[in-house]
A and B are shown apart, each in its own frame.
Chain A
């Protein structure tokens, strides 16, 4: 054993250990980047440089052996200054793509940014045009992220493969794959790269990640970050998703505008043909499942229009993909939903679009909040940002979908105009709003009075259906049902606690958004008009994207885990 002094403290360590090892044994933190205990120190990054009494220069703690009575200082203004500057230089060769990085959340580069007040964009990324190499179907090496520590070369050498090499290109050395040797795909380069320049093929990056979020999320997720009930955080959700590195962020409310337009058409047609009335709304997947299992005789009454997330997902993978020149199979659509049943909705084969699932993953509001928290993103503190174009600007009708009565009100605004061919002046349909379990109304549409009902809470819906079955209730044109009390604002995917008062506040905020919107009718949304005109004029295609089907269903999967 020898004695050394680190930061004025006497420490015993074994001869032959490095300063870094001695410091770590004594819980003294020295930052490192290129150091890895599997590899012999390369000492290339210079981040662990420390002051040693008697040495003119700073020396790397990772590679300098402790010698008896050595006096080491691990942090000082001078050391911090070199760390800051060297980090800025390192960042200047590293293209940041944090979201799909294997180190996301554990990045040793980013960890040092705050501590040393590093300006990561002080210099231009000098490697931005460096190539990405792929080795077989297993590994990708993005050399624009490489910080030249050469750990990969060392790891590859330890494997006895020596596939990765350092070659001088121009005046700068680069890590490149060998022109003659082959890779064995072991991935040890990936494990030892501190800069995330390696990843497995298809790992995160292969997909274009598109998020959409349901109407109600904007008035509920703030609660998870200590904001008041019903606080609108639309722009903050967008900012949070951007922080996560999501490629595109769209609004499910725009999907709702398509749902409304399609559903209104259906209502008009069924009225004309006097068939399958009343129309039962279809955007609540629990309600649909309930009908298929308990009341299959009403299946013909369910609107065949798909739910907002499913339509939007389908449009993303068809129309948007085409517009962007993207392979739809590479698009990964994630929906943030207020709902647990939405997870089930996306795996219904009836909802597929051209053989693809329109939505690949559903996160509940709570899951989304946790995802942000895990990435240390405090939604409440974010500066609001704008949604992406194309599917970023809904009508007011699309937004109120999140509250009980919203679907009915939206459909009414559109159906009224389609039936009467006149402009609806007062768009607000207040009798279907509010937290009351069953809301009924008779509305004059053209020459006829139409009877409608809006129900929230499946228990009440069940009773209602029984009464229709028995003939106690009749003559309805349209019935909206949401399985959860209050509609989606009270959904099973929403933050807890949830109660009547909370649901009310959440819903009111959505109506506030609608009130401020210039365009409040779904069919007037320019993107709806445009896509109907350009893309959905092909009736077959329109059917594939907008409509679904239902069938009698048995019991779902229930298992012990």
Chain B
């Protein structure tokens, strides 16, 4: 029953699996309680963070549970219809199968516009509305004013998977983890949410026997953790990249990140557009101006328009602090 599912989501403390970790039950409730003639649900399958492909894994292996999750939301939220927003390759791969599973449900599948940032919730709204895929100023959040100004529930593929599981009464508090980098057994694993990074690596037989560090929580935006720091759960997306400390050139690694951010950010706000450009410039010259870097990190964190910019400083700051020193 509609009322129950929100209670259930809250009971399991389910939080969003896109990386932001917003309480799912609360989000559903906010949308549900908004007064509007029309409401929308968006299942976000734009998965853009590098080295992370857990949503693809879910769409490949458990699409029916995802659809179940969306169906549950459609039932819980009156006057609603839904979109599944898929990155281009996922669209090509899963469109047919998902269509079969959707049957008569009011769910449309939409191909993603733009790059990484195309996965940000307000960008999705802009894109579905046929506008240039750029982030909107928040607030208002999509829960209040999303697609065409209507209350809109935006959740990640994995979050709908979990909601589906909860609705079926089969949820076991698990989470999907992509493990890549210098490891033996690359892949996506479903493991308890409470697992620490160390436990995840051990359980999947990926714990290195060499000097290493990891990037946890995303292949671009995740934080760098040293071996001694692995007794913690993952912040951000379920993604662990292992680096052989001896074989990794930290400058080349950072260059990979700036390349990603420069290509994927929208260049709208000053700190993200100019700040990342300057980090990249320093990397090209292999000359890191510590004070300028700290200044740039500061404005990224404090004054970026969207979460991409606000979190972009994390990998650089932690890598420089812990590895380059």
Contact = CB atoms under 8 A, between A and B. Distances in A.
A78 B298 CA distance: 9
A92 B292 CA distance: 13
Contact of B137 (A41, A148, A173): A41
B310 A126 contact: no
B303 interface: yes
Interface in B128-167: 132, 137, 139
Contacts of A81: 295, 298
Contact of B268 (A44, A78, A86, A126): A44
Interface string A79-91: 0011001101110
Contact of A85 (B267, B281, B298): B298
B295 A85 contact: yes
B299 A82 contact: yes
Interface string B207-247: 00000000000000000000000000000000000000000
A57 B267 contact: no
A148 B267 contact: yes
Interface in B236-284: 259, 262-263, 266-271, 273-275, 277-278, 281
Contacts of B274: 89-90, 92-93, 126
Contact of A46 (B132, B139, B299): B299
B262 A172 contact: yes
Nearest to A79: B302
A214 interface: no
B201 interface: no
Contacts of A82: 298-299, 302-303
Nearest to B296: A85
Given A78-B302, A126-B277, A42 B268 contact: yes
A126 B273 CA distance: 12
Nearest to A147: B270
A57 B305 CA distance: 10
B304 interface: yes
Contacts of B298: 81-82, 85
B112 interface: no
Nearest to A33: B270
Nearest to B259: A171
B225 to A, nearest CB: 22
Contacts of A65: 139
B273 A86 contact: no
- Max chain B C-beta neighbours (<10 A), residue from A46, A88, A150, A166: A46
A58 interface: yes
B301 interface: yes
B230 to A, nearest CB: 26
Interface in A52-72: 57-58, 60, 63-65
A171 B295 contact: no
Contact of A58 (B263, B275, B296, B302): B302
Interface of B: 132, 137, 139, 259, 262-263, 266-271, 273-275, 277-278, 281, 292, 295-296, 298-299, 301-305, 310
Interface pairs A-B: 10 shortest CB-CB:
A89-B274, A171-B262, A173-B267, A46-B303, A63-B137, A85-B295, A85-B299, A86-B270, A49-B303, A58-B302
Given A82-B302, A171-B262, 8 more contacts: A45-B270, A57-B302, A57-B310, A93-B274, A122-B292, A123-B278, A148-B267, A172-B273
26 contacts: A43-B137, A44-B269, A46-B270, A46-B304, A49-B302, A49-B303, A57-B302, A57-B304, A58-B302, A78-B302, A82-B298, A82-B299, A82-B303, A85-B271, A85-B295, A88-B295, A89-B274, A89-B299, A122-B292, A123-B292, A126-B277, A148-B268, A148-B273, A168-B267, A171-B259, A171-B262
